[in-house]
Amino acid sequence: MASKPRVKIPKSVSAGDVITIKTLIKHKMESGQRKDKEGNVIPRDIINHFEAAFNGNVVFSVDIDPAVSANPYIEFSSRISEAGTFVMKWTDDAGTVIETSKDIALKG
Amino acid sequence: MNRFLAPVAVAATSVLAVAAVTSMAVLAAPADDSLVIDGELEMSTRVAPIEGHPLPEVISGWHYRTEDTRALQQDSFDNPGMLGVEEGEEYWNKVEGTMGKSCASCHGDASESMVGVGASYPKWSEKLGKPINVELQINHCRVENMGAEPYKFDKGGQKPLTAFIKHQSQGLPVELNLEEGEMQQWWERGKETYYRRTGQLNLSCATCHEDNNGKYIRADHLSQGNVNGFPTYRLKQSNLISLHNRFRGCIRDTRAEYPAAFSDELMGLEVYTTWRGTGLSVETPAVRQ
């Protein structure tokens, strides 16, 4: 069961600020290299792509490979010059997309 | 090739050996650091022992971990155990059982009603005639008040819900009431378990956690074995680990047969080990190796 991802982002910023965005999502990140008790390979099931878009423009994206451990933590920074909405998407091997969005306002 | 380099290698090795011994000595001591969560909540991780405690100072396992692991616990966002706590909150509000109730139906807002619970359990239960911990209290509530199935050990909502409830006491000092009922007898019983050597390796809890804490057992830095951070996020398992799971893991590592979770033997041990950590802040969810 995918639970809601955690995202830490300032609610309001001054125009031109560089902000740090932290994300954490619960996922087992099964590498595909392990075997079960019967010796069958446990199929790979990882989040293979993360993407963050601000007002529709992708500002950060990353392809993830099996070496990343469970519950991946992704941190990135972005310069914000206007108010708007961050939309973050995690895609896993099953094609499931987990999406969350956060609004940012300008100060003053 | 080593043959030609042998004399040089020997010299180099002895220099390294000196360096290694020095750095090991530095590494072996519990880290001189202070645990402040999110730069706000100051935690008591080094306290004076309660009367009757065999050690000169009671130290949280947090001090025995590496800098990176310690940092994870200092930020409640970075702490992966908080994923479990948030999951526990969902279980808190989930209606289950024949009576159509959730935990919240009776207990309301956990951030008010559950404060102090994690710091004072296990408690004496008159009804059961034995000490009861948070996990068993949850099951008791589920059966008696919700008409729901009790959680099996480490299954369903047991770990996240326990972590969520104990988390409400984060920062409060551990304090058990041994005056109630037969708590003193269970404390004695736990103490007996703590000092009894078991298994093919003939180890007791005290062998590692009292006599040798601060030293290394192979690559693992031995702590005092305080239980104030359970359920704990262990990086090794990338998951929350319950106290009774850890008890069983430790006993298994002595190559002994291990008792069932929530058995009288382990409940006694929970009472005794919790008492040993008296005064330490509840850290749930702690982050360990």
Q: What is the ipTM of this complex?
A: 0.71
Mind listing the pLDDT tens digit for each residue in A59-81?
Answer: 999 999 999 988 899 999 999 99
Query: Quick one: B267 and B139 in the same domain?
Result: no
Q: Are residues B124 and B251 in the same domain?
A: no
Statement: the pTM of the whole predicted model exceeds 0.90: no
Catalytic position from the list B106, B141, B205, B250: B250
Select the residue of B77, B78, B83 nearest A26 (Cβ to Cβ).
B83
The Cα–Cα gap between B43 and B61 comes to 13
- The verdict on B68 touching A (C-beta cutoff 8 Å) is no
Residue B15 lies in a domain: no
Evaluate if residue B108 carries a pLDDT over 60: yes
pLDDT > 70? residue A33? yes
Last residue of a domain, one of B147, B167, B187: B167
Mutate which: A1, A4, A6, vs B, most B CBs within 10 A: A6
- Structure-token match 């079960």, residue found: A36
The total number of residues written for chain B in this structure: 289
**Does residue B148 belong to any structural domain of this protein?**
yes
Domains and CATH numbers, chain A: 6-106 (2.60.40.10)
Chain B contacts of A70, Cβ < 8 Å?
238-239
N residues, chain A: 108
Backbone region of residue B34 per phi and psi (left: phi > 0; alpha: psi in -120 to 50; beta: other values) = beta
How many of the other CB atoms lie within 10 Å of CB of B214? 15
Q: Answer yes or no: are the C-beta atoms of B223 and B209 closer than 8 Å.
A: yes
| Domain presence at residue B52 | yes
Query: Both B129 and B106 in a single domain?
Result: yes
- Per-residue burial over B113-148, b = 16 or more CB atoms within 10 Å of its CB, e = otherwise: ebeebbbebbbbbeeeebbbbbbbbbbebbeeebeb
Please judge whether A70 and B82 are an interchain contact, meaning their C-beta atoms are less than 8 angstroms apart: no
**Of B146, B167, B188, which residue is a domain's last?**
B167
Query: pLDDT tens for residues B148-188?
Result: 999 999 999 999 999 999 999 999 999 999 999 999 999 99
Are residues B133 and B265 both part of a single domain? Answer: no
Residue B246 inside a domain? The answer is yes
Rama region for B134: left / alpha / beta (φ>0; ψ in -120 to 50; rest): alpha
Question: Which residues of chain A are at the B interface, by a Cβ-Cβ cutoff of 8 Å?
Answer: 3-4, 6, 8, 22, 24, 26, 69-71, 73
DSSP sequence for B161-227? HHHHHHHTTBTSBP----SSTTHHHHHHHHHHHHH--BTTTTB-HHHHHTTSTTSEETTEE------
DSSP state of B115: T
B289 touches chain A (CB under 8 A): no
